[in-house]
Amino acid sequence: MRTLTYAAAIREAFAQLLEADPRVFVIGQGLWSPWYVGQSMTGLDVEFGRERILDSPVAENATTGAAVGAALAGMRPIVVHPRMDFMLLAVDPIVNQAANWSYMFAGKVPAPVVIRGIINRGGEQAAQHSQALQAMFMHVPGLKIVMPSTPYDAKGLLIAAVNDGNPVLYIDDRWLYEAAGPVPEEMYQVPIGSGVVRRPGTDLTVVASSYVAAQAVEAARTLEARGFDPEVIDLRSIKPWDRELVFASIRKTSRLLVVDGAWKTCGVAAEIAAAAAEHVFEHLSAPVARLTLPDAPAPMSRPLERAYYIHAPRIVEAVEHLMASRRPQRALVLS
């Protein structure tokens, strides 16, 4: 199969969606720039016209609200936030409006809007140019959230998001833009809510999404060389997330490590750990482990950044630590 980078796969999804459906348009800052959103939208304005690819004023709230309003009026807008940090200025149209609209109006007026929030961090950018805020939105009923880690999923999930008919937060990570992988040329969808086992194994279950899922796959290679056999699950969607896939894996491995490239408190990892404790507690032979960012803003200086972010070696360490831990004997329930 043909190989594309993650950024090129996103661009191809945009192009095919714009080609296939006249209701699709894109609004956001930097969309006519050759570099603002990496190579993920290059030349779309030339190909589809600047009426459908709107490089907007610096107005996150109104542009997102306008995208929501256009969706209510029957369009299929995609609003792009080149940095998720700035997307916080648009929380009202996302949380109060788009997420609630279906419920508030008994399903009679859907809000089929895609909100693309890009995680853009590292490179000494510090606290306001680095945030991964998926957990804040995961809390909200009515939203769906996807976080692709491969070029294949980057394309298939964007197409699925636009066709879903509900507000979908599409979160991509600039650290993945150069990653290459097989991508079919035709339009296809990756089902929202469906995870995938990236590496089958029997020792423990590693659950992750987006950049840290790719890093978990890399970590698994090192771990394998050290005699471990981890199962790596890429959630792909964090709302809804594939509970059955995760629970089935835990029943097999009896250990769970959740990795999330964001803060720990009330985070994605917290939710998955809690769900595991609620539903498959009797299958766990060790305490659930979480590997997340510390509860601190993103730093600037290089050594601090190195200590802050999660790459494959940290996942290797966390797996080895978890493999060495055991559930206290008195709590064991024999099934």
Active site (catalytic) residues:
60, 129
Token readout for 45 is 């304005």
C-beta closer to another protein: residue 168 or 219: 168
C-beta closer to another protein: residue 26 or 288: 26
Q: Closest approach of Cβ 139 to another protein, in Å?
A: 13
C-beta closer to another protein: residue 102 or 120: 102
Q: Closest approach of Cβ 104 to another protein, in Å?
A: 5
Strand blocks (E) in 82-236: 114-119, 144-146, 168-173, 180-182, 196-199, 204-208, 230-234
Contact residues toward another protein (CB under 8 A) are 25, 51-52, 54, 56-57, 59, 61-75, 77, 92-93, 96-97, 100-112, 141-142, 144, 164-166
Displacement of CA 135 from its chain's centroid (Å):
10
Contact 18, 52 (CB under 8 A): yes
C-beta closer to another protein: residue 43 or 141: 141
CA 191 vs CA 77, 87, 158, 309: distances in Å = 19, 25, 10, 29
| Cα–Cα distance for residue pair 114/164, rounded to 1 Å | 9
Identify the CA nearest to 94 among candidates 171, 40, 159: 171
Cα three-residue angle 174-249-254, rounded to 5 degrees: 115
Q: Closest approach of Cβ 111 to another protein, in Å?
A: 7
| Cα–Cα distance for residue pair 162/215, rounded to 1 Å | 27
Identify the CA nearest to 6 among candidates 118, 91, 139: 118
C-beta closer to another protein: residue 95 or 176: 95
C-beta closer to another protein: residue 2 or 108: 108
Q: Closest approach of Cβ 100 to another protein, in Å?
A: 8
Q: Closest approach of Cβ 50 to another protein, in Å?
A: 11
Token readout for 158 is 């964007």
| Cα–Cα distance for residue pair 158/189, rounded to 1 Å | 8
| Cα–Cα distance for residue pair 293/49, rounded to 1 Å | 41
Q: Closest approach of Cβ 144 to another protein, in Å?
A: 8
Q: Which residues of 271-293 are buried (b: 16+ CB within 10 A; e: fewer)?
A: bbbebbeeebeebbebbbbbbbb
| Cα–Cα distance for residue pair 233/113, rounded to 1 Å | 28
**DSSP β-ladder status, 180-182 and 168-173:** unpaired
